[in-house]
Amino acid sequence: MAQKDRECPTIHSSNGAAHQDTPPCVLTIFGATGDLAKRKLLPALYNLMAQKLLPDEFVIVGYGRRPQDEGQFRDGFAEGIKEFARLDWDEAVWNKLKERIFYQQGAYNEAASFKTLQDRLDQLSKQFNAGPNRMFYMATPPDEFAPIIENLGQLRQGNNHADGWCRLIIEKPFGRDLASAHELNMLLGRYFNEDEVFRIDHYLGKETVQNILVLRFANAIWEPLWNNHYIDHVQIVVAEEVGVGRRAGYYESSGALRDMVVNHMMQLVSLVAMEPPVALTANAIRDEKVKVLRAIRKFSPEEMVKYTVRGQYEGYKQEEGVAPDSRTETYVAMKLWVDSWRFSGVPFYLRHGKDLPRRNTEIVVRWKDTPCVLFNDSCDKLKSNMLILRIQPNEGFALRANAKVPGSGNDIRDVRMDFDYSDAFGAEPPEAYERLLRDALIGDGTLFTRRDEAEAAWSIADTVLEGWKNAPAPFSYKPKTWGPAEADEFMAEDGRRWHEPGTASDATDS
Ligand code: BG6
């Protein structure tokens, strides 16, 4: 069908967001003296302001327990912006942002502090003409989430800004198991509607993650081949070069599964395996994603352990804040089955670790082999077709195909067709937090985790965690290697190998 003949019914699409003005609002950041605010949130707000994506009627209030001099509080962000913002430093932009930043000291568990906060927000809102809209960002340690929600909820009940909106953005970790995630959801549900709650998963804000849907559903060539008739297996690798460093205190009680797999990696699994949504709306997309999570095969905890390999890098136990006999995993490899019509029988291999050789996140879709009847002599040289989605760095994708080597004879070699974001579009993609903050401000929840998604992901992780309780301690691995040898054996048992991300090597060849 010619382009112009395509049917183009009215679609309720979140794409309109790009053209929507960000409304006036007062944004409160709980935990504003922490690392996240300095490294990610303020740089993202700076970038938004530099791109004129924030209105003049906008105020930022940092809230924290510690007393702070407001001037120093503001200046502290300047360093973070210079170091971490994607866009270059511009004094004029900073001055405009700076005069909109305020600090409010208070406790997280005292109603009186929240009443004082509310009065301050109202006063600042008048001063900047920012109106009744209120956004609250929870960037505190997770123990503070419940008291903050409770206090905001109480305040809200007593004082409903009928003509404005009130939204919450909640950082991860959203719970530490299914029960605690459910409890948090129940608490949120007591005071807020689901469309007022934005559970952040910054992977969803990455351009290349969003591109998975465009790649799959805006191109005719993939979908017919995107199923168990043709796909052999899928690998999702999230490798990090750094160890846990200063975050050991948090990490020790979390571990790789809770920190990365249950959220970021499960989101990647759902985007790869989901069906086309009926529209590009927040709920239509999340409806399809949650179906994938529900379709992941359930095992008993004991059985589930057989499909995982845990690792811990040598030296982890010596990090500050880590127990000398710690069993916390800094590496996890696992195999999942998505028992959907489309993916039944196709294994999904996930691996993630800290202190690996490189920082690389890649998704590899590997297709089944062609019959080897025509190229008998070169059969060993035929490589399976493979699509590598480079989530980061060098954002883009590559397709591997077989080609004839020029010359007489029928020699065959694999080649790559490569697409690189910055080459194609001449610009670095925006930071995840820029996109996510703005989406929340305009009320678009597409790139946030819905209540049922969070719980569905936890129900899988819970089984693994339960199984690990009675399993041997994690295998150790040397820093800057690809993890314990046991993870390679685990793949070898299936006749496969791990893809080594960030290289031209196509190690998935069996
Ligand atoms: C965070 C985890 O959610 O994601 C960190 O808590 C991890 O442990 C980080 O390092 C990785 O994010 P990115 O964007 O650098 O891949």
pLDDT of 377 reads 74
For the stretch 287-335, pLDDT in tens is: 999 999 999 999 999 999 999 999 999 999 999 999 999 999 999 999 9
Closest residue by CA, ligand 1 atom 10: 240
Atom of ligand 1 nearest to the CA of 247: 8
Mean pLDDT of 149-155: 93
Sign for the pseudo-dihedral over CA of 47, 51, 52, 53:
negative
Cα gap 139→42, rounded to integer Å: 12
Distance 201 CA to ligand 1 centre (A): 10
> Quick one: how far is CA 404 from the chain centroid?
40
For the stretch 359-370, pLDDT in tens is: 999 999 999 998
Asked if residue 240 has its Cβ within 6 Å of ligand 1, the reply is yes
Query: Looking at the predicted structure, is the pLDDT value of residue 94 above 80?
Result: yes
> Quick one: how far is CA 200 from the chain centroid?
8
Q: Residue 20 is encoded by which pair of tokens?
A: 């929507």
Residues 373 and 382 sit within 8 Å (Cβ to Cβ) = no
Q: Residue 27 is encoded by which pair of tokens?
A: 């944004």
Asked if residue 259 has its Cβ within 6 Å of ligand 1, the reply is yes
Q: Per the confidence metrics, is the pTM higher than 0.75?
A: yes
Cα gap 374→195, rounded to integer Å: 56
CB atoms within 10 A of CB 321: 14
Average pLDDT across the chain, whole number: 91
Distance 190 CA to ligand 1 centre (A): 30
Residues 398 and 418 sit within 8 Å (Cβ to Cβ) = yes
Q: Which of 207-211, 371-375, 414-418, 462-466 has the lowest mean pLDDT?
A: 371-375
Biggest alpha carbon–alpha carbon distance for the chain: 84
Residues 46 and 85 sit within 8 Å (Cβ to Cβ) = yes
Asked if residue 355 has its Cβ within 6 Å of ligand 1, the reply is no
Segment (H or E) for 457: helix 451-469
